[in-house]
Amino acid sequence: MLMKIKVNGKTQSFDQSVSISDLINHIKLSNTSIAIALNGKIIHQNEYHNTKLKNMDSVEIVRPVGGG
């Protein structure tokens, strides 16, 4: 079954279950200096590997921006 996950407002499709770590690797991001919210809830970095995504989950990935 094809699984669809919304990542920063854009739908990504996967043919198997993925964790947040798998998603990060799939979109070629570094784990450093990012924050992730899953369905509106912040997920701590030490939980990325254990947090499995489900069909129609919504993931927001943000990076801090310096400035002033």
pLDDT at 29: 83
Quote the domain boundaries for residue 21. Answer: 3-62
CA dist 49 and 67 (Å) reads 31
Which letter, b or e, does each residue of 43-65 get, where b requires 16 or more Cβ atoms within 10 Å of its Cβ? beeeebeebebeeebebeeeeee
Please, what is the end-to-end C-alpha distance for the chain in angstroms? 47
CATH number reported for the structural domain that contains residue 56 in this entry:
3.10.20.30
Structural domain includes residue 67: no
The candidate with the shortest Cα–Cα distance to 52, out of 18, 13, 29, 2, is 18
Structural domain includes residue 68: no
User: pLDDT tens across 25-62, in order?
Assistant: 998 887 678 999 999 999 999 999 999 999 999 999 99
Looking at the 3D structure of the chain, how many domains does it have? 1
Structural domain includes residue 42: yes
Cα 61 from chain centroid? 6
Structural domain includes residue 35: yes
Structural domain includes residue 54: yes
